[in-house]
Amino acid sequence: NAGVTQTPKFQVLKTGQSMTLQCAQDMNHEYMSWYRQDPGMGLRLIHYSVGAGITDQGEVPNGYNVSRSTTEDFPLRLLSAAPSQTSVYFCASSPDRGAREKLFFGSGTQLSVL
């Protein structure tokens, strides 16, 4: 059972480049989400999804797009990378779409934008 798989683990981008962070879970969880973690700011919610075909904005959605075409996958797209998007990104899933159960986290992607 792989759990939540994030790729890549590390990425360096130049300002203006685009890329997609991949996230997949094999636990049939309805709820999936993306957070970014920055020192002193905790985890901030970027986007989340309560099921296939349903996505919603979190606290800091600007500059990021998501889609949820299947239950398993929830990719995060950076449209035009900026230095302010340098961060560690975590994907998480949960079996409960009402956020009543614990989150299962991926191992994170460390992104640097130069």
Contact between 9 and another protein by CB under 8 A: the answer reads no
| Smallest distance, another protein to C-beta of residue 16, A | 30
Contact pick of 6, 33, 85, 93 for another protein (by CB under 8 A): 33
Query: Which is closer to another protein, CB of 18 or CB of 107?
Result: 107
Q: Residue 41 interacts with another protein (CB under 8 A)?
A: yes
Beta bridge partners of 32: 49, 93
At 31, list the tokens: 């709820």
Minimal distance in Å, beta carbon 37 to another protein? 9
Cα separation, 45 vs 23, whole angstroms? 15
| Residues whose CB falls within 8 Å of the CB of residue 66, separated by 6 or more in sequence, listed in order | 34, 46, 47, 49, 55, 74, 75, 76, 77
Residues 89-108 that bind another protein (CB under 8 A): 90, 97-103, 105, 107-108
Residue 40 is a binding residue for another protein (CB under 8 A): yes
Omega cis (within 30) before 95:
no
